[in-house]
Amino acid sequence: MANSSIEAVHRKTRLRLLFTGAHLLLYFSFTLNWTPWGAVLRNQLGTTQVTGSLLMFVFLVCIFIVLETVFLVISQRSEQ
């Protein structure tokens, strides 16, 4: 009983570590805005006032929400 419980905790911890690593990688990708590689993100998109940086920020927030939802769904399925 205790051994399977510990194994479940280890599995969940590894999964959380994987999702956290992906989250941090995406989070730090926003630093492209201050590097020469991200110079294109500073430009306005078409004739709008929206810049590539703002669009990237919105997409990152959406991706973070989706990642967290995927983690929760996988966690719930592994508990059943």
71 contacts 16 by C-beta, under 8 angstroms: yes
Model confidence pLDDT, tens digit, residues 12-36: 889 889 999 999 999 898 888 888 9
pLDDT given for residue 6 in this prediction: 86
Task: Give the model confidence (pLDDT) of 35-63 as tens digits.
Answer: 898 888 888 888 989 999 999 999 999 99
Provide the residue ranges of all domains of the chain, joining segments of one domain with +.
2-79
Residue 61 has φ and ψ, to the nearest 5°, of -60, -45
Question: Rounded to 5 degrees, what are φ and ψ at 44?
Answer: -75, 150
